[in-house]
Structure 1
Amino acid sequence: MSDPTGFDVRAYMRDPLQVRPTDLDLPALGDLDPATLEALTRLEAAERALLHRMRDFLVTPTHAESRVTAFLTTWAYEQHWLVQTLGAVLAANGRAAGQDRATALGRLRRARDERLGPVLGAIASNLLGAETTAAQMLTSRLDTAVLAESYRRLGAAEPRLAATTGAVVRLKERHLAFFTAEARTRLAAGPGARRLARIAVSRWQWPGTRYTARRTRTRPAADPEVRAALLGLHPELGLGLHPERAAGAAARRGPYGTRSVRTALARITRG
């Protein structure tokens, strides 16, 4: 498997990072405070949602991208154990994992998505072609960056979780490296890929909140530190610009991608 982006997929597949329930002293984590449990509940829901969304990628032209599908095989393995571990911590505190927090409208939307989403998404993306992969890599990078920042903050707030969240952040950093490398290469391929990426980023949603109440979507996006971390991604969101255009684009409207992220954050905070 060639390595055009600088990320060694073979090495990644040989050495998955596993965060398992057996790695934790669960009895020592059985009295976490309500705010920490709420954060863990949201993270568990977000990680499960990402597993489902990545599955949908495989009915788009991305399924023909051998590097991406090889990466996602190991990514899904790591993701599975992460979801199990978060669920085990919740269970140690008397909370059931996988709770359905969808509103009535959210349940209707989810039923529609499950029935029609993969088909409609496949039709649309196949009409648009392989350029859709750039958009998928970029929104996956946003998802991963948001979650990595959330784990950092959780570990700082609850020292008993610091070792676990530190391991998860290391796992997420590898995922970020892949999505960044793939996005860089694909955004450089042409204006079509960059146009689709801008649209996808402006429509991006906070992980795991598509079907939930408005407050679960608006609260994290309104956090100044999280917003700053997301907007701080803009230099790498602009990696697809041709060098000769980069200076002009930055002078006209700021680094490529920042406006799209701001659009998404504004929409999320409005609910």
Structure 2
Amino acid sequence: MSSRSTTVSTPFDVREFARTARGSHRAEIDTAAIADATLSTDAVHLVRVLRDLERGTMHRLRNLLVTATHKDARVTAFLTTWAFEKFWIADALDAVLEAAGAAPGPLTGPTRRTAAERAERRGPILRALAGNIAGPQIVAAHVTTGLVDEWISQAAYRTLGEVAGVLSGLASNLVTLKDRHVRFLAEEAERRLAASGRAVRLTKKAIAQAAWPIGATEIPAADRSFFETFVFGDAEGRSAVARIGERLAALPGLGAAQGATLTARLVP
């Protein structure tokens, strides 16, 4: 995979994205096969973590839309459909848990609290104040961190498909669905970072402060550690993180240090 594979030649069509938004996946899920397959404890655990991360979309939107990002019509139009698709991804994962006979409720337990992630725990008022100071260049940070998060989630779904054969079709479909999210976010990140040194500086700061995947600050510490170890803890997982780091480093104005920061946060 080329480190410049995020570059696109045809502008992303936001209207077409909205027109072809993907809703419920339940009709394609073979619940009887899932029940018969007896998913491993680890596979079920990964589904639960991914479900809770996908469910955190509205929290993420709130954090974005109290800043200058809400004034960007193209980005907010994308985010509306993005949130719709992520809602139905979470619903699909709920269907898997139901079929597997797993506990349907959200994960519970104490969360991880580190000084490096303090900014991620800000409420909407503090985020609005910081966002107003940052100005419109903050949009670059939002689309870039969103892009990294989509790469991370694609890696997790690939892992899920590998460890649970009965879920390989669903996992592959979700990876493909997220390709469109990646394409839009990559296009916006490259354009905005190339246009503004301030956007680059704000993006570097956001990457340094981020908890990965996005929404991880709301996930119990034990479940975060499981996710990091199960998805990225072996040689294949470390290679996946390295590829994500290379793609991040290749974005305009960033560089290897940003990829190293990401790797340090994700690899246990």
- Range class of TM-score, shorter chain: 0.7 to 0.9
Unaligned runs of 5+ residues in structure 2 are 1-8, 114-118
What does 1:14-93 correspond to in 2, within 5 Å? 14-30=19-35, 31-93=38-100
Say whether 1:179 aligns with 2:190.
Answer: no
State the identity as a percent. Answer: 34
CA contact (8 A) 1:44 1:98 kept: no
CA contact (8 A) 2:18 2:81 kept: yes
Alpha-carbon displacement from aligned partner over 1:49-101 (angstroms, at most 9, x marks no partner): 23421232111100011111111111111111111110111122222334232
> Do the aligned partners of residues 155 and 65 (structure 1) sit closer, same or farther apart at CA in structure 2, a change above 3 Å counting?
same
Question: In structure 1, what is the Cα distance between the partners aligned to 2:248 and 2:41?
Answer: 36
Say whether 1:229 aligns with 2:240.
Answer: yes
Question: In structure 1, what is the Cα distance between the partners aligned to 2:243 and 2:111?
Answer: 35
Amino acid of the structure 2 residue aligned with 1:12: F
Amino acid of the structure 2 residue aligned with 1:202: A
Question: In structure 1, what is the Cα distance between the partners aligned to 2:60 and 2:202?
Answer: 18
Question: In structure 2, what is the Cα distance between the partners aligned to 1:132 and 1:222?
Answer: 32
Aligned to 2:3: none
CA contact (8 A) 1:18 1:78 kept: yes
Aligned residues: 247
What does 1:97-246 correspond to in 2, within 5 Å? 97-103=104-110, 117-207=123-213, 208-211=215-218, 212-213=220-221, 216-217=224-225, 218-219=228-229, 220-233=231-244, 234-235=246-247, 237-241=249-253
Question: In structure 2, what is the Cα distance between the partners aligned to 1:199 and 1:222?
Answer: 26
Q: 2:18 aligns with which of 4, 13, 35?
A: 13
Alpha-carbon displacement from aligned partner over 1:143-178 (angstroms, at most 9, x marks no partner): 110111111121122221111111101111111111
CA contact (8 A) 2:57 2:87 kept: no
**TM-score when normalising by structure 2:** 0.83
Q: Report how far residue 38 of structure 1 moved.
A: 1.1
Question: In structure 1, what is the Cα distance between the partners aligned to 2:182 and 2:102?
Answer: 30
**TM-score when normalising by structure 1:** 0.82
Q: 2:261 aligns with which of 260, 263, 270?
A: 263
